[in-house]
Structure 1
Amino acid sequence: MNSNNKQFQASNAQYQSFQSDQEEEEELKQENDEGIQNSEISQIQNQNDAKSCISNVSRVKNSFISFPVIAILSIPSGFQSYPKEEYSYIYTSYVQYFQQSGLRIIPLNWTDSLENLENLMNKVNGLVLTGGGANLMMRVQEGEEKKFTQFSKVAIFLIELAKKKNEKGNYFPLWTTCLGFELLFLSFSNQEIRNQFDSKNHFAKQIFSKEAKTQSRILSKLSKSLIKCLEEEEFFYYNHKHGFSKKQFLENPKINQNFNCIAYSKDQKGKQFVSIAEGKVYPFYGTQFHPEKLQFDQSSKNNKQFTINQLRIAQHIPNFFYTECLKSNQRFDSAQEQQSLLIENHQPVYKGGLDQGIYLFKNVQQIQNEINSNKQETNTK
């Protein structure tokens, strides 16, 4: 058993159960101070993790101390003013969402060369695959099986890199949301296994699986009172037409052997789909819902008034991912190199008709030609 599996299993053992009833009673007695205490505890835990991380890094020659750095992959543009043949983008909400925990963000242009993408993957401490509108699988001809799009192939290349890193003992976490969540499962199944759901502009409750209480690393740090809120209230925002049914999840060996379903939700017609999942073998995580929209996308379609409990739960996810990224020992060669690649070197665009800001990235010419060739080939067949 390699060192990464030992570390990952130790992490699982550490998060085997929820807080005890006695802890819960004590927590409820201090309900008024919970927000402040959780914030202070989180800061102390992050500081302790950071000290441990710094201690490890200080032994590496020519290294420097910094906060964890994650990469966020851009997706093909779906905006009329910025056609996908020329642009890709990242929503500002994802950047703001993960930055609030202290994570530093570096954008990955999906049209960049695989060599450049791999080079950056060897320096960051984690990867995020976002939601958005993009085709993951398409038929070139009527009657043919669906095949992965060029964007999906690039994202799967990054997922495979993350898998190999973990297999070699280099802890490397992955977070996925909505479209990225679907892409993660598709990469393991290597075929179209999604079902259709009516879950556009929709809020829903969480239905927790039996694995949630014994094996979830994400939920283990949430109090029982907050978990109860997730079960009883429609907290999180969904905006998808594809997803994975409970039956599909449980009966697909490539999915079931690699992931635990932590929770399900129901669409607007009562159909159940997987909403939260965690990797069994790899530190890969994902949600079908959009936790980032609660704080950083108050557009008209999802401007539902939120509660302090929703805010606590939403903030828990990037804080959890921060601690996961602390376990990665990858570093940039210098602070100057890292600084030159941060998202702060790019200016977001705010334009009428957009729900929120976007970071735009010009397509690399070589990939752009490939996209245009594929488009022309598809249209002529």
Structure 2
Amino acid sequence: MDSANSGDPSIENPVIHQPLSVDQAQQKSPNTLIAYQSLSSLTALCQASPPVPITTVTINRKKRQRCVYALKDFDEIQKIFPVWGTCLGFEVLLMLTRASTGILEPCQGDDYATELIFMPNASDSRLLGPSLPSNIKYALENEPTTSNYHHFCMRPENFSADPILSTFYKMLTISPDLERRTFVSTIESRRYPIFGVQWHPENNAFEWRVNTTIPHTKDSIDITQYMANFLTNQTRQNMNHFDSLEDELKYLIYQYTPEFTDLDKTYYQQVYYFYE
């Protein structure tokens, strides 16, 4: 689920074009260096969909640092550190790349399922190319198997006309919104292990709120599993790890207990609360 675009015109320096060295990070501040070093314990970065407005505050320095880490290590030592954005996370990737929060348009895309329209670039892509099973591709193209919960989107004509976005990313699929206008629904970086989906692959298997359009067919569940397997296989290409078992245990989600919310009043049936 995404939230209202503030239209704020700029964010300093596109993260894609301004990678920092570790030395530069240390010169900026100790916190910047810690942010770089902490990512060496992780095997991927997943940016999901917090229900907050998109502003220059939410597109903050920490998000830029995390993306820079992935690009820097790929350029220097070809380390695969995948970055994945879903829904608002997809929008954040575009904004970070374009250095602007004002690039999206209002879009009628809340609570409906639709198909994907494959673009020519999909055929040789990592995400939707040769590795995509034929039955999964058929379901994505011909059945309403992608769950959508967004209010803003990137129009394909705007994406193609933007030299920064269209040079950095491949547009893999587009989808029709509720007004039958198309929006960019799947992207991947041409060079880096960066992937984004405006739709929600996880909803099909894990969100069971009643009175929604989330698809739960076998094909829909298979799509969720394919996307999960793809990202997991990307993470297996790096050897990042925690320095000790004790350190790893501190960050496991199992340290926290999810709370049941409701079946018909919230977007999610289970949520985690983290108190500062």
TM bucket (normalised to shorter chain) is 0.7 to 0.9
Compared CA separation, residues 217 and 238, structure 1 to 2 (3 A): closer
2:191 and 2:269 map into 1 onto residues whose CA distance is 36
Q: Which runs of 5+ in 2 are unaligned?
A: 1-30
Native 8 Å contact 2:46 2:85 kept in 1: yes
* Residue 92 of structure 2, aligned match among 180, 183, 197: 183
Matched, 1:272 2:190: no
What is the Cα deviation at residue 119 of structure 1?
A: 3.0
TM-score by length of 1: 0.60
Structure 1: 4+ residue segments shifted above 6 A: none
Compared CA separation, residues 305 and 159, structure 1 to 2 (3 A): closer
Structure exhibiting the larger radius of gyration computed from Cα positions: 1
Cα deviation, 1:71-109, whole Å, max 9, x if unaligned, reads xxxxxxxxxxxxxxxxxxxxxxxxxxxxxxxxxxxxxxx
- Alignment-derived partner of residue 164 in structure 1: 72
Native 8 Å contact 2:258 2:272 kept in 1: yes
2:81 aligns to what SS in structure 1? coil
Amino acid at match of 2:271: I
Cα deviation, 1:10-66, whole Å, max 9, x if unaligned, reads xxxxxxxxxxxxxxxxxxxxxxxxxxxxxxxxxxxxxxxxxxxxxxxxxxxxxxxxx
Compared CA separation, residues 324 and 357, structure 1 to 2 (3 A): same
Matched, 1:155 2:54: no
TM-score by length of 2: 0.81
2:41 aligns to what SS in structure 1? coil
1:219 and 1:204 map into 2 onto residues whose CA distance is 20
Amino acid at match of 2:49: G
Greater percentage in helix: 1
Matched, 1:193 2:103: yes
- Alignment-derived partner of residue 293 in structure 1: 203
What is the Cα deviation at residue 344 of structure 1?
A: 0.9
Native 8 Å contact 2:114 2:147 kept in 1: yes
Native 8 Å contact 1:176 1:184 kept in 2: yes
Matched, 1:302 2:212: yes
- Alignment-derived partner of residue 360 in structure 1: 273
- Alignment-derived partner of residue 173 in structure 1: 82
2:68 and 2:229 map into 1 onto residues whose CA distance is 25
1:298 and 1:234 map into 2 onto residues whose CA distance is 16
- The one of the two structures with greater contact order (alpha-carbon pairs below 8 A, sep at least 6) is 1
Amino acid at match of 2:273: L
2:32 and 2:258 map into 1 onto residues whose CA distance is 25
- Alignment-derived partner of residue 228 in structure 2: 318
Amino acid at match of 1:160: V
Cα deviation, 1:129-165, whole Å, max 9, x if unaligned, reads 002311222xxxxxxxxxx124544322321222222
Q: Which runs of 5+ in 1 are unaligned?
A: 1-112, 138-147, 364-381
